[in-house]
């Protein structure tokens, strides 16, 4: 209940707006944008896009940066057999609050993956022949010799009314070119050294058709003899300086930042370097500064250093940020492959302690019977250890034909990186003076009993994790048929203080262990520290002649595996997957893995009408309790179907319709005859009957689970031409309903809709956007209801031959919530002298209703002036007002200078 109230506050102030794409085109970049009105860059610690293919068991990660009020990233689907993708956005604020889109990450955004959205051949104008006169494709010319010239050959009667348009590096230069019906020439000025692209289009009222495009190099005099007109050794890139003034909740927060990225090529060596530095860097946060180096030497060597995002396997690490190195080597025609990862997952952050709180515990007669000592954290200053990660993989063979791999990943906290108070002895031996509230008797008492000092929420515990496994990959029929399998084991130690088991520690725990076993654990400590804090201890107590002994065994709960078979043909895409993940499998480098689950998933998609109509069927059957350590097993069945139509003709709508039906059942019946009639489904405790002699006894048992969820989704995009304007309209609809058949307060209903319209004007250089989003979510069978309405309008206007662009955006978000408490009716059985018995208690709706309401108004304005191809100036400003929480207006002003070379 408290979580829902808190979320209502956060959602009101920061409502994430996003329009999902109609589809992802495989191997082609798709721009994903998330807008959060009112959220400034100074309030963002980090933002991460989590994504997975075809309902996989774990998510991969991709970091997103905030610029000009928009979280934006280019996403590429590189999975060759994926039929759909699911994703959600997580934004971690500097206040440690977390925002999500969608709000319920159990139901992420789902989008189909297609081979091709646009018919590339239809975009090319085949009725015009041409001859490129200068410069020849791939050649090199000096700046003084750069002349664009080509001759055209066609029959005017075969063409619709239109005109040719010449572009250099995507900049329209037709107005400065010498054009005739059959000849076009242009003498560019100020072309920098490097690669350039020429594009010739034929523009009609129906759209733009490509005639031809080619690339050439501009080199300095004398370079041609060395480069042979086919190489450019001068790197290209961009540098940016930014200054920001912002006022958040009345506090002034100025920030300065710099960002650079450049890349180049020398022979078969490719390299790139990026960096981002900001004065917002703080030792209370994980790194805000970013830097990275990447080098590639042909197909056989890759090297990354700095802030890298390695991918080794789904069970180990898959896109998590690491400050270190990630390198791979591919030898013998990619038949011998190595990968090595080393760095930091997290850097250390010091604990901020306040003074020890002393609380006297008194009796009913107001006499002191005990004293409690608690060390609290100041300003939520709970710290973290430095967390190191080291991993590697060896792959034998080419994965497109046959490859066997072995990999291992170790994550361990550095216990020396953090001053961490566990008891009074740690505190008394430190220079910190946190015991000013203690008297002499208190110090003496704590010195004799150090564990009497309580730490708020418990002290920070260092952890150790090891994941090791093997994988198999091979393909047939030109890689159209693929099989991939991975099996892994893991070990997680939740507290490595004290090191591995010792004879003395085993004796304290009540069993004997041989010294040779202790020596073995000591030798293994470089790999994993084994003690009583291991999540699953591979030691089993046994009876021997002297009493209790111990022996090693292999726990299956730390095992995980995944196998999948896929068929990928032009008209059919089939995928079958089986997974088995134990309840104690853990990877600290990928915390999104769903544990204690086993079962299979299959999807089959048929492509019809030249990949214009996609029909998808899917089924998933999963069970938990894989090692039988629970009282009940929950079975989850999911049925999914989707139909998508993507016509070539843009005057026709593109439509996608999806249906998902899910059931969950643990085969436990709802039974409690002790509660009042009509309240059985609201009983606090579920019961079972057991005979005790001649009497009937009721024993508590597992709560039943039986519910079904229906999720309907629809998306429609339509291009409309009206009044010399081209409108791209997108509508997304979603409705989800969960019906709980055994618990009175388990129903959930959620409906959402978003409408976006982008308009381009033919008569003027302007583009506008309009969007409306609405979400209505009711949970707990009416316990909580949240309604969110968001409206925005914006536009861009281009002037001075597109060198100056002006932009503006106004957004309104309203949030209305209604919440009621779920109370318990405590029934006292006086006759049987059972006052605290919960077997006959039941839940009911409280009388008090809490109805918080918030509104957010955000106004953004910006301008960008491109002085020339090297220099650009950007100005951004926004004003935010949040009503309903007595917060002052927030405002941000930012100026950026961009230099391209």
483-495 per-position pLDDT tens digit:
999 999 999 999 9
pLDDT in tens, 214-254: 888 887 665 543 344 445 578 888 999 999 998 877 788 89
Does the pLDDT at position 6 exceed 50? no
**Residue 370: strand, helix, or coil:** strand
Does the pLDDT at position 49 exceed 90? yes
| 615: Cβ contacts below 8 Å, ≥ 6 apart | 605, 606, 608, 641, 642, 643
pLDDT band with cut points at 50, 70 and 90 for residue 865: very high
As a whole number, mean pLDDT of residues 799-813 equals 88
Does the pLDDT at position 143 exceed 90? no
- Residue 836 is predicted with a pLDDT of 64
Q: CA-CA distance, 392 to 329, in Å (whole number)?
A: 11
As a whole number, mean pLDDT of residues 878-896 equals 81
**In the sheet where 353-362 sits, what is the strand order?**
353-362, 368-377, 453-455
Tokens matching residue 564: 């999948």
Q: What is the chain's mean pLDDT, rounded?
A: 86
- Residue 846 is predicted with a pLDDT of 86
As a whole number, mean pLDDT of residues 682-702 equals 81
As a whole number, mean pLDDT of residues 565-574 equals 90
Does the pLDDT at position 467 exceed 60? yes
Residues 603 and 614: beta-carbon distance below 8 Å: no
Does the pLDDT at position 829 exceed 80? no
Does the pLDDT at position 27 exceed 80? yes
- 115-120: long-range contacts, CB 8 A cutoff, minimum separation 24: 115/25, 115/26, 115/607, 115/611, 116/25, 116/611, 117/22, 117/23, 117/25, 117/646, 118/648, 119/648
Does the pLDDT at position 12 exceed 50? no
Does the pLDDT at position 621 exceed 90? yes
**Count of Cβ atoms closer than 10 Å to residue 378 Cβ:** 12
Does the pLDDT at position 626 exceed 80? yes
- Residue 394 is predicted with a pLDDT of 98
**In the sheet where 171-172 sits, what is the strand order?**
140-141, 207-218, 194-204, 163-168, 171-172
Q: CA-CA distance, 165 to 687, in Å (whole number)?
A: 78
- Residue 343 is predicted with a pLDDT of 97
Where b means 16+ CB within 10 Å and e means fewer, 449-460 reads: eeebbbbeeebb
As a whole number, mean pLDDT of residues 405-427 equals 93
Say what the pTM is. 0.82
* CA dihedral sign of residues 120, 125, 131, 134: negative
As a whole number, mean pLDDT of residues 850-867 equals 88
Q: Find, among 279, 240, 244, the residue nearest to 258 by Cα.
A: 240
Residues 468 and 537: beta-carbon distance below 8 Å: no
DSSP classification of residue 620: E
Does the pLDDT at position 762 exceed 80? no
pLDDT in tens, 84-96: 899 999 999 887 7
Residues 132 and 164: beta-carbon distance below 8 Å: no
pLDDT in tens, 364-400: 666 666 788 999 998 888 999 999 999 999 999 999 8
pLDDT band with cut points at 50, 70 and 90 for residue 206: low
Does the pLDDT at position 814 exceed 60? yes
pLDDT band with cut points at 50, 70 and 90 for residue 692: low
pLDDT in tens, 694-736: 667 888 888 999 999 999 999 999 988 887 788 889 999 999 9
Does the pLDDT at position 59 exceed 60? yes
% residues pLDDT > 70 (the chain): 91
Q: Which residues pair with residue 358 across a beta bridge?
A: 373
Does the pLDDT at position 540 exceed 70? no
Q: Find, among 423, 262, 247, 21, the residue nearest to 879 by Cα.
A: 247
**Count of Cβ atoms closer than 10 Å to residue 283 Cβ:** 8
Q: Find, among 500, 583, 511, the residue nearest to 548 by Cα.
A: 511
Does the pLDDT at position 418 exceed 70? yes
- Residue 227 is predicted with a pLDDT of 41
- Residue 761 is predicted with a pLDDT of 84
Residues 392 and 335: beta-carbon distance below 8 Å: no
- Residue 231 is predicted with a pLDDT of 54
DSSP string, 248-310: ETTEEEEEEEEEEEEEEEETTEEEEEEEEEETT--TTSS---EEEEEEEETTTEEEEEEEE--
Instruction: Give the chain's count of helices (H) and strands (E).
Output: 7, 54
As a whole number, mean pLDDT of residues 749-761 equals 92
Where b means 16+ CB within 10 Å and e means fewer, 204-216 reads: eeeeebebbebeb
Does the pLDDT at position 123 exceed 60? no
Which is more confidently placed, 872 or 430?
872
**Count of Cβ atoms closer than 10 Å to residue 619 Cβ:** 14
């Amino acid at each position: 209940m408290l979580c829902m109230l808190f979320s209502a506050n956060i959602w009101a102030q920061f409502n994430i707006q996003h329009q999902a794409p109609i589809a992802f085109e495989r191997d082609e970049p798709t721009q994903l944008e998330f807008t959060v009105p009112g959220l400034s860059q100074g309030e963002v610690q980090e933002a991460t896009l989590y994504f997975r293919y075809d309902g996989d068991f774990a998510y991969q990660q991709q970091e997103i940066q905030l610029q000009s009020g928009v979280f934006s990233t280019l996403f590429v689907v590189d999975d060759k057999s994926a039929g759909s993708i699911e994703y959600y956005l997580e934004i971690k604020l500097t206040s440690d609050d977390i925002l999500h889109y969608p709000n319920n990450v159990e139901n992420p955004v789902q989008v189909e993956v297609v081979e091709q959205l646009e018919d590339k051949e239809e975009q090319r104008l085949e009725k015009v022949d041409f001859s490129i006169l200068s410069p020849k494709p791939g050649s090199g010319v000096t700046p003084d010799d750069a002349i664009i010239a080509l001759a055209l050959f066609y029959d005017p009667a075969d063409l619709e009314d239109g005109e040719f348009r010449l572009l250099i590096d995507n900049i329209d230069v037709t107005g400065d070119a010498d054009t005739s019906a059959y000849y076009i020439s242009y003498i560019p000025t100020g072309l920098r050294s490097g690669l350039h692209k020429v594009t010739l289009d034929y523009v009609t009222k129906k759209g733009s058709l490509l005639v031809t495009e080619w690339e050439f190099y501009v080199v300095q005099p004398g370079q041609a003899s060395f480069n042979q007109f086919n190489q450019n050794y001068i790197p290209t890139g961009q540098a940016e300086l930014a200054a920001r003034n912002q006022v958040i909740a009345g506090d002034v927060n100025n920030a300065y930042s710099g960002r650079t990225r450049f890349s180049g090529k020398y022979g078969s060596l490719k390299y790139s370097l990026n960096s981002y530095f900001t004065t917002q860097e703080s030792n209370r946060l994980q790194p805000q500064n970013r830097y990275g180096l990447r080098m590639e030497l042909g197909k056989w060597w890759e090297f990354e250093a700095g802030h890298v995002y390695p991918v080794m396997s789904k069970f180990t690490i898959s896109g998590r940020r690491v400050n270190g190195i990630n390198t791979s080597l591919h030898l013998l025609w990619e038949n011998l492959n190595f990968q090595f990862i080393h760095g930091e997952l997290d850097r250390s952050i010091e604990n901020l302690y306040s003074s020890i709180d002393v609380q006297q515990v008194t009796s009913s007669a107001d006499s002191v019977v005990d004293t409690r000592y608690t060390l609290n954290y100041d300003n939520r200053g709970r710290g973290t250890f430095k967390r190191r990660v080291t991993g590697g993989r060896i792959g034998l063979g080419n994965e497109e034909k046959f490859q066997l791999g072995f990999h291992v990943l170790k994550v361990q906290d550095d216990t020396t990186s953090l001053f961490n108070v566990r008891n009074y002895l740690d505190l008394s031996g430190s220079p910190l003076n946190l015991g000013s509230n203690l008297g002499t008797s208190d110090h003496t008492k704590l010195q004799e009993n150090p564990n009497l000092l309580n730490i708020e929420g418990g002290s920070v515990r260092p952890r150790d994790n090891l994941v090791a496994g093997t994988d198999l990959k091979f393909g047939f029929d030109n890689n159209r048929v693929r099989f991939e399998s991975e099996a892994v084991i893991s070990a997680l130690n939740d507290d490595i203080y004290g090191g591995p088991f010792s004879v003395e520690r085993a004796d304290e725990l009540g069993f004997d262990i041989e010294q040779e076993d202790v020596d073995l654990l000591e030798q293994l400590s470089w790999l994993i520290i084994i003690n009583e804090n291991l999540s699953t201890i591979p030691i089993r107590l046994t009876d021997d002649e002297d009493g209790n002994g111990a022996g090693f065994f292999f726990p299956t709960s730390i095992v995980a595996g995944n196998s999948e078979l896929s068929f990928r043909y032009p008209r059919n895409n089939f995928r079958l997957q089986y997974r088995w993940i134990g309840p104690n499998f853990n990877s600290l480098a990928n915390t999104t893995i769903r544990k204690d689950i086993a079962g299979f998933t299959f999807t089959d998609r048929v492509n019809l009408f030249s990949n214009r109509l996609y029909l998808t069927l899917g089924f998933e059957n999963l069970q938990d309790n894989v090692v039988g350590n629970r009282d009940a097993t929950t079975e989850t069945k999911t049925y999914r179907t989707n139909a998508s139509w993507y016509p070539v003709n843009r005057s026709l709508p593109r439509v996608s319709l999806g249906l998902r039906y899910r059931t969950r059942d643990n085969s436990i019946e709802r039974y409690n005859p002790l509660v009042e009639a009509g309240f059985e489904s609201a009983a606090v405790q579920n019961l079972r009957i057991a005979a005790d002699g001649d009497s009937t006894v009721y024993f508590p048992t597992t709560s039943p689970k039986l519910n079904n969820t229906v999720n309907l989704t629809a998306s429609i995009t339509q291009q409309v031409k009206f009044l010399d304007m081209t409108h791209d309209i997108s509508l997304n609809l979603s409705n989800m309903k969960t019906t709980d058949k055994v618990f009175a307060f388990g129903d959930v209903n959620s409906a959402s809709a978003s409408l976006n319209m982008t308009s381009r004007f033919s008569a003027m250089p302007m583009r506008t956007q309009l969007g409306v989003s609405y979400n209505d979510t009711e949970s707990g069978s009416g316990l909580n209801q949240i309604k969110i309405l968001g409206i925005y309008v914006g536009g861009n206007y281009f002037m001075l031959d597109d060198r100056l662009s002006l932009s503006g955006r106004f957004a309104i978000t309203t949030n209305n919530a209604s919440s009621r408490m779920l109370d318990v009716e405590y029934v006292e059985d006086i006759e049987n002298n059972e006052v605290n018995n919960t077997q006959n208690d039941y839940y009911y709706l409280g009388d008090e209703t809490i109805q918080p309401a918030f509104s957010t108004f955000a106004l953004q304005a910006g301008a960008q002036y491109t002085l020339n191809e090297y220099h650009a100036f950007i100005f951004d400003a926004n004003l935010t007002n949040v009503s309903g929480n007595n917060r002052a207006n927030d405002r941000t002003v930012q100026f950026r200078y961009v230099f391209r070379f």
